[in-house]
Structure 1
Amino acid sequence: MEAKMGRFFESVGNFFSGGDNIPWCDRDIIAGCEREFADAATEEQRNSSLMRLSWALVHSKHQDDVNRGISMIEASLDNSGSPLETREKLYLLAVGKYRTGDYSRSRQLVEHCLEVQPDWRQALSLKKAIEDKIAKDGMIGIGIATTAVGLLVGGIAAAVARKR
């Protein structure tokens, strides 16, 4: 019983905090990845460091970094050398879209990743985070609409009461 109550309170806390399991990245790591990318000597090193930099950018708490990461991934998507690399880039793009609030596009991208590898835990975790966020936003929207209707009905009732 205690375990169920604990999970209940944790889910309520996550609902209000908007918690997800997707990691964040700070500016120091991004700066290190940028240096690594600039110092890359071969094409293979460049591609590898580009993936690390893109990962760091889409996991940033700063919107301009996330947008930059999305642009880098989109620009490099056509140059993917393997289906695995394409899958990784699509996943990072899905994370970036999630971070910018484009949940429908993020869900499309993560669904594509899961078509390639249905049991990919990271993609499944992101899909759950997206669905939770969409459900939360829907509940908030319903609450706002209900409040607006209540205020409207209350205003009409008050106006009718004054006329009598």
Structure 2
Amino acid sequence: MLRQLRPEGLGFVETAPVRLVFAREISAPPEEVFTALAGDVPGWAEWFSAVTRARAIEDTSLGRDITLRGGIRFVEHVLVAKSPEVYAYSVASTNAPGLRALVEEWRLAPAGTGTRVQWTFAADGSAPFRMVLKAVRPGLGRAFRDAVTALDRRLAKH
């Protein structure tokens, strides 16, 4: 069963109790990366291995319905979709235990002919949740690097 989380705006990426920030440069241009992030919601399951299902929600008050490996589900509200610079969303409801608020921000910047991709994972939750999240930071970093690398390969084929 999904439960509502505390709504947070984009400013939460700077003030959250737990902020995990990862960055990587890829060869795809920012416009293509932005389109993959914001415009091809089902495509996330093809390049982000933690995502098993992703679909856009037609209701304009929400944005995406995401299922992760292990059955964790997020219903997200898109906060910002400013091409080709930033794509950010907050989690409106989830079945993840201990989570109280979550905002994710993807910042894109030109890097030569490619893109510097920065992902900020900003969260609040119970003390045990925060401890676990900090402990899994290396794994989230690997998941990000693998996902962005897979996205870059996918975009090179198109």
Q: Shorter-chain-normalised TM-score: which range?
A: under 0.3
Structure in which a larger fraction of residues adopt strand: 2
**Taking structure 1 as the reference length, what is the TM-score of the superposition?**
0.24
**More relative contact order, 1 or 2 (CA 8 Å, 6+ apart):** 2
**Taking structure 2 as the reference length, what is the TM-score of the superposition?**
0.25
Which of the two has higher C-alpha Rg? 1
